[in-house]
A and B are shown apart, each in its own frame.
Chain A
Amino acid sequence: DQQVKQNSPSLSVQEGRISILNCDYTNSMFDYFLWYKKYPAEGPTFLISISSIKDKNEDGRFTVFLNKSAKHLSLHIVPSQPGDSAVYFCAASGFSPDSWGKLQFGAGTQVVVTP
């Protein structure tokens, strides 16, 4: 059973507008969350992360919000650019050292940014 769920397989957004990607998790032991971006024929690359002690983390155009009570996180991209067209994966890990790096991934959301 998937412990990290991205319920929207795809998202289309106009250039310059906001992209909002959602992710839900079921395991309350998760305390560290990451977003990865993947282009075709390449490996995922790290985008942004957030620890459970925070509810928001910002890095340039990318902001991740964490709602622990709802077991929900979201990634906001503002403004969206054509180069943001990619698959975005949400991932989570637990707080015990032996679970670090053993990420649980969602199925991904394909983002298409149109001119």
Chain B
Amino acid sequence: NAGVTQTPKFQVLKTGQSMTLQCAQDMNHNSMYWYRQDPGMGLRLIYYSASEGTTDKGEVPNGYNVSRLNKREFSLRLESAAPSQTSVYFCASSEQGREKLFFGSGTQLSVL
């Protein structure tokens, strides 16, 4: 019963470095999402993929890119990390989008 799996769990980057956050779900869900959580802000949507082969911007997409590799996997890439991208990142999936989202356990990212 893995659900939504995110890797890595923790990462420290220097300003300007790049990295990719990986996400995979085993529930055969169509829709996948990337959120970030900052103190006092709740969760904010970065990018989402309504179905395999499609991606679209959310509320805070600047500085990020995504790839929906297949139905299971949805990755988030930081091309040139900035301190403002220090946050906890959550991947989520849902069957059709209207129903509840299932979240991964998060990636704590620090950019120095």
User: Does residue A42 face the partner (Cβ distance < 8 Å to B)?
Assistant: yes
Selected from A2, A46, A97, A107, the residue in CB contact (under 8 A) with B101 is A46
The reply to whether B44 and A105 form a contact with Cβ atoms under 8 Å apart is yes
- For the complex, give the distance between the alpha carbons of A41 and B105 in Å: 7
The reply to whether B45 and A44 form a contact with Cβ atoms under 8 Å apart is no
The tally of residues in B whose CB lies under 8 Å from a CB in A reads 26
The reply to whether A43 and B45 form a contact with Cβ atoms under 8 Å apart is no
The reply to whether A43 and B58 form a contact with Cβ atoms under 8 Å apart is no
Selected from B40, B45, B96, B102, the residue in CB contact (under 8 A) with A100 is B96
Interface string of B1-43 (1 = CB under 8 A from A): 0001000000000000000000000000001010100001111
Interface string of A42-74 (1 = CB under 8 A from B): 111110010000000000000000000000000
Selected from A32, A46, A100, A105, the residue in CB contact (under 8 A) with B42 is A105
User: Does residue A101 face the partner (Cβ distance < 8 Å to B)?
Assistant: yes
Selected from A41, A46, A89, A101, the residue in CB contact (under 8 A) with B43 is A89
Known: A36-B103, A45-B103, A105-B42. 20 other contacts (CB 8 A): A4-B42, A6-B42, A9-B40, A42-B105, A42-B106, A43-B104, A44-B90, A44-B101, A44-B103, A46-B100, A46-B101, A100-B96, A100-B97, A101-B31, A101-B48, A101-B50, A101-B101, A102-B48, A102-B58, A105-B35
Interface residues of B (CB under 8 A from A): 4, 31, 33, 35, 40-45, 48, 50, 58, 90, 92, 94, 96-98, 100-106
